[in-house]
Amino acid sequence: MAERYSSFRPGGRRWLWQRITAAFLAVVLSFHFFLLHFVYHADEVTFALSSARMESWTYYSLMILFLITATFHGVNGVYNALINQGLTGTKQTIVKWTLVVASAILIVQGVRTANAWAGISIL
Amino acid sequence: MSQSYNRGLIEDFGRWREFSAGMWAWVFHKFTGWVLVGYLFTHIAVLSTALSGAAAYTGTIQTLEGLLVVRILEVGLLAVAVFHILNGLRLLMIDLGIGLESQDKSFYASLILTGAITVASVPTFIAGAF
Ligand code: HEM
Ligand code: HEM
């Protein structure tokens, strides 16, 4: 039996951050599902209700942190999987920057949306 | 120390018939991970209708949630997410060296628990869709 089953390079920084974000996401994603499906229901979501939640600074910060960690974890996972499939050289550089740009757009868009709910009008 | 174990090339999906439990766990974890990132991008795209005003956002969500397909896809998303979370926690434990010997059993446990949680959630997820 092998000692490691992970697809990441052992002890690397990306490996470590993948674990740290995973531990955080396990809690926050469960909370997210629970809140929006069991406490409230998905078909009851309205702008007013999202706003009411987002106007609380704790909820707003948690959602922004959720957005950033989920993006990092997901995109880092995809990038790592592609490296495992044999991505190297110029192609790797191109893919890497494409993923970085896509993540940046996702985060900016997510923050703008969160601000719209919270009634913050910068950005 | 880190001893390697020749599991053959798992990236060679054509060998699926010979896969062991751990290899299935790996394939499922990958698949669910990719679905989740895909969903995240879609999710933010849908939610960002809030930028066009309250009516646009509420209208979009209400229309989507009114569709039976969307409700069914949401149940699918739940199953995918629950498996990824449970198996992810299992991987974190294995990395810490906990439960290495019983990693097959913990994979089956993740599967069964995912099934149970998904089935138990169906009524709540589908409520009002008909
Ligand atoms: C909720 C708690 C979560 C936990 C505990 C978790 C755990 C993990 C772990 C431990 C890995 C690394 C596996 C390896 O070393 O090969 C991983 C990979 C991955 N995760 Fe997660 N994750 C979670 C949430 C998410 C979310 C929200 C997303 C999407 C936004 C996501 C997308 C991915 C992707 C794409 C991979 C890479 C899969 C591959 O190798 O192709 N995960 N996850
Ligand atoms: C079907 C299940 C889901 C529903 C119904 C849902 C619903 C929502 C809603 C209504 C919001 C707006 C905030 C609020 O009203 O409190 C939100 C925000 C968010 N959701 Fe989900 N969600 C689901 C699954 C997920 C999953 C699986 C992920 C992770 C991959 C995720 C990631 C996020 C993030 C990061 C935000 C914050 C967005 C921002 O700051 O702009 N959600 N979700």
**Distance (Å) of CA A12 to CA A47, A91, A103:** 42, 21, 21
Q: What is the pLDDT of residue A123?
A: 55
**Hey, are the CB atoms on A2 and B129 less than 8 Å from each other?**
no
Tokens 């999987």 found at: A81
Give how far Cα A40 sits from Cα of A62, A117, B125, Å.
18, 17, 11
Closest residue by Cα to atom 15, ligand 1, is A6
pLDDT score for B1: 39
Q: Model confidence over B77-118: pLDDT tens digits?
A: 999 999 999 999 999 998 888 877 788 889 999 999 999 999
More confident residue, B5 or B1: B5
Which pLDDT band holds residue B13 (cuts at 50, 70, 90)?
Answer: low
| pLDDT of B115 | 93
Q: Name the closest-CA residue to atom 10, ligand 2.
A: A45
The per-residue pLDDT for B12 is 65
Task: Output the average pLDDT for chain B.
Answer: 87
**Percent of chain B scored above 70 by pLDDT?**
84
Contacts of A39 in chain B (CB under 8 A): none
What are the mean pLDDT values of chain A's consecutive 10-residue runs (123 residues total)?
A: 61 87 96 94 92 96 98 96 91 96 98 94 67
Global pTM reads: 0.89
- Quick one: CA dihedral B67, A28, A60, A102, positive or negative? negative
Q: Domain B20-129's class?
A: mainly alpha
The pLDDT, as a whole number, for residue B124 is 87
User: Residues 93-122, chain B: which have Cβ within 8 Å of A?
Assistant: 94-95, 100-101, 103, 121
Per domain, the residue ranges of chain A are: 13-118
CATH architecture of A13-118: Up-down Bundle (1.20)
B22 CA from centroid of ligand 2 (Å): 31
Burial class (CB in 10 A: 0-12, 13-18, 19+), A10: exposed
